[in-house]
Amino acid sequence: MANPQSSLIIKHWDSFGGNFIDSDYLAAAYETGKPHYLPGALMKIYSSGSQFFKVKPFLNLVGMGTNGGTEVETEIVRWRLQGAEYKCARVIENVESSSNLTPGINNTQFRVKLDLDYYAYPDILVPEDNDYNVQVVDKVSDGTGTIYTLKLITDDPTKYLDAQYLNPGREWCKVSTAVPSEMNQWFGTQQYPAIFELESQIGAFGQKIDVTDKAWRQQGRLGFEFMSTDYNGRSSTVNKFLPYAEAMMVDELYKSMEWALVYGEKSTMTGPDGYWQKTGAGIRQQLKDSWVQYVNGPLTVNLLQDFLLNIFFGRTDEANRGITLMTGQLGSLLFHNALTAVANGFLTVDSNYIRSESNPNSSTPGLAFGAQFVRYTGPLGIDIRLIHNPLYDDLRYCKKMHPQYPNIPIDSARMTFLNIEGRGVETAKGLGKNIELLKVKDTFRYFYVPGSVTPMGPITNKGMAVTAKAGYTVAIEGTMGAIIRDVTSCGELITDYDN
């Protein structure tokens, strides 16, 4: 007897008969009412898109897009910085009598205790008010500092030093010398800079995919195409899944590196097999020692000027005050609005801001209005060039929202000022950039481990497999890190608020 219901049947269409046929019969019997699939590739949901998938601006900014960064021999790197050639002294204790309110009057001597022992007769020192010139008479070491005996340089017997400059924390510095005009045997002192040695390290990254033989065979049977975006931001369609998966694997590696270059924190731990696992300091951790200012009000041009002059003033000439501002979309908008506010009186007469535009639907000439400010050239050599980093806008990496823009992460308004080329920084001949991308030599590897199948197909004719499995592995790994040689030429304006 025949089996009335075969175990091989997975779907059944009922038969029908009679002399009346309508669409309901056809749909039930032969699925004629199926929806029509529009031809073409699978379209990505707009809200699922991410600019960060298409571009890695910090990697390109510090050298990935040009020469691939600088190769080093090991993941630990060190460099030296030279400090200032002059250092001012500070008062650490008031050693004068509290009743002496007129130190130095009538050419009398007085004392001050400083944290430096550099000075001696015939040095001339000044406190924070350069109206007072005093000369060192003698000095003696005293535990935590040096006590100097001083006298005012003046012919006015009624002049005396303001006693506040003898209090702890006040600053003194050497400015000159005064020696006898005949048979002199006294000579002033000078200072020499301190040298600092700094150390950082580079992190290692890796991604892989494991593919079975059946997945390789069936990847071409997909009923639709995928949208694929490569590392350079170029989009294309693919009708096989595995090339798409490989592209995602490579992009994930570089996204990991970009994240680590910004948000990474230096650490040294052991991995599961006992080998050292090192992570490098991102620019945020490194910039904690730079010029940092927290703001919670509107951005203004005056705020930008004041912040940058704190970095530049008295340290570099006006021809070397160019700096790169890296920020998110909200920071770019705040920058634009700040410049628009001060440039408002010029915009209507600017032919670049109001310009001709075609108007095909009318005989009336067309006009286009508007532009975006991406550069500010200010007084005293200030020159800001703005670049947008989509990482600052990505909700995957920053989930704290801006209090005034609840749909935008607060990092989008963060402004990171980077002196990439080291403009205004005195360097030894042949020294690289101030901000440099580093990678350990011979650590970038993109490879596959074949089983009985390779990315090109099955192994034939007794070919060699590395592992006895029906499939293969594709992997990519590498090392990457960024160092800021001198963070004092950089800074950040950080939007902050009380939680």
Residues of the chain with pLDDT below 50 are 1, 41-42, 44-50, 52-53, 65-67
Q: What is the pLDDT of residue 19?
A: 61
Could you please state the CATH topology (level 3) that the domain comprising 41-85+195-342+370-499 is classified under: phage-related protein like fold (3.90.1690)
> Which tokens is 231 given?
């590392």
Please report, for the chain, the start and end positions of each structural domain, with discontinuous segments joined by +. 41-85+195-342+370-499, 89-191
* 398 vs 486: CA distance, rounded Å: 27
Q: Of 58, 64, 70, 484, which is closest to residue 280 (Cα–Cα)?
A: 484
User: Which whole-number Å values give the CA distances from 272 to 275, 276, 277, 375, in the listed order?
Assistant: 8, 9, 9, 48
> Which tokens is 431 given?
């020294």
405-463 pLDDT tens trace: 999 999 999 999 999 877 756 655 555 678 888 889 888 899 999 999 988 889 888 88
Tell me the DSSP string of 330-395. HHHHHHHHHHHHHHHHHHTT-TTTEEEE--TT-SSPEEEE-----EEE-GGG-EEEEEE-GGGG-T
Q: What is the pLDDT of residue 66?
A: 41
| Sequence-ordered strand ranges (E) for 73-225 | 76-82, 89-93, 110-114, 123-126, 134-142, 145-152, 171-177, 195-201, 203-212
Q: What is the pLDDT of residue 199?
A: 85
With H, G, I as helix, E, B as strand and everything else as coil, classify residue 69.
coil
Q: What is the pLDDT of residue 220?
A: 67
41-67 pLDDT tens trace: 445 444 444 454 455 556 666 555 444
Phi, psi of 336 (to 5 degrees): -60, -45
Q: What is the pLDDT of residue 461?
A: 81
Q: Are 435 and 417 in contact (CB under 8 A)?
A: no
Q: Of 455, 409, 446, 435, which is closest to residue 213 (Cα–Cα)?
A: 455
Q: Of 368, 51, 416, which is closest to residue 235 (Cα–Cα)?
A: 51
The pTM for the full model equals 0.76
Residue type, 167: N
Q: To which residue do tokens 């090192």 refer?
A: 278
